[in-house]
Each structure stands twice: as C-alpha cells, then as structure tokens.
Amino acid sequence: MGKRIAGLLFLITLWYSCTDQQQPGDSLLQDEEKMINILVDMHIAEAAIGRQNIIFRDSLREHYRDNILLIHDISESEYDTVIWQVQQDVSKFKGIQEQVYQKLKTLKDSNKLKIKAKS
C-alpha cells in the first residue's frame, strides 16, 4: 500500500514537472515590441537622470524604473529575468539594441520636427 502511494506521488510529481509552465518573462520574450518599448523608456529615463544632481540619481533611477515597469504592467523580477536571458544570446541582444536605438533616433527626429513647427 505504501509503495503504491509513493509511486502515485512520484508519477504526479513527474507529470507536474513536465507540464508546460510559463517561466517569468516568457510572455515578454515573445512580445519583442513590448520589450523594445520598455527599453526605450529606460534609455530616456537614464538620459533624464544623467541631467540631475548626482545626489538624487540613485533614488530617481529606482523611481523611474518602478514607474516604467508599472506603466508596462511587468514585474521587476520578470524584467530582470528577460534582460538576463536576452543578454545570454548576443545576436538577439544586438538585434534588440539596434531596434531600440533606431526607435530612439526616430523619436529624436520627430521631436526636432515638432520644435521647428512651433517656431
């Protein structure tokens, strides 16, 4: 009787471990556009932080990061996991960074046009 229960528990545990469980960050890894938007916001926030007094930078960095993750509805652990996973794949990391820089350039250029239009 005890062996049957132990065997049953083993099979249940084995089945559960083999089921398709979503890991933190899986949905974000699949939604590359969302990840690019988050990274664009992080870059913009980092540029804004760089203009602040050095005394306030650490607290501002934490504040901006928390708010960006809140806006994009992603947890800190999910974000950290995805960033770590992407950095492990150099070609994917380069591709994403290239898209981020392209989007930042587009935003910068469109902002210049808005400023000229106001003049």
Measure the CA–CA gap between 24 and 69, rounded to whole angstroms: 14
Domain tally, the chain: 1
Mean pLDDT computed over every residue of the chain: 80
pLDDT band, residue 114 (cuts 50/70/90): low
Given a cut of 60, whether residue 21 has pLDDT beyond it is: no
CA distances from 105 to 37, 54, 62 (A): 13, 26, 25
pLDDT digits (tens, 9 = 90+) for 65-91: 999 999 999 999 999 998 898 889 889
Does 2 fall in a domain?
Answer: no
Does 75 fall in a domain?
Answer: yes
Question: Best-predicted range by mean pLDDT among 1-15, 21-35, 59-73, 102-116?
Answer: 59-73
Does 49 fall in a domain?
Answer: yes
Residue 75 domain boundaries? 24-118
* Per-residue model confidence (pLDDT) at position 8: 43
pLDDT digits (tens, 9 = 90+) for 88-113: 988 988 999 999 999 999 998 888 76
Does 61 fall in a domain?
Answer: yes
* Per-residue model confidence (pLDDT) at position 31: 82
Measure the CA–CA gap between 107 and 118, rounded to whole angstroms: 17
Does 17 fall in a domain?
Answer: no
Does 19 fall in a domain?
Answer: no
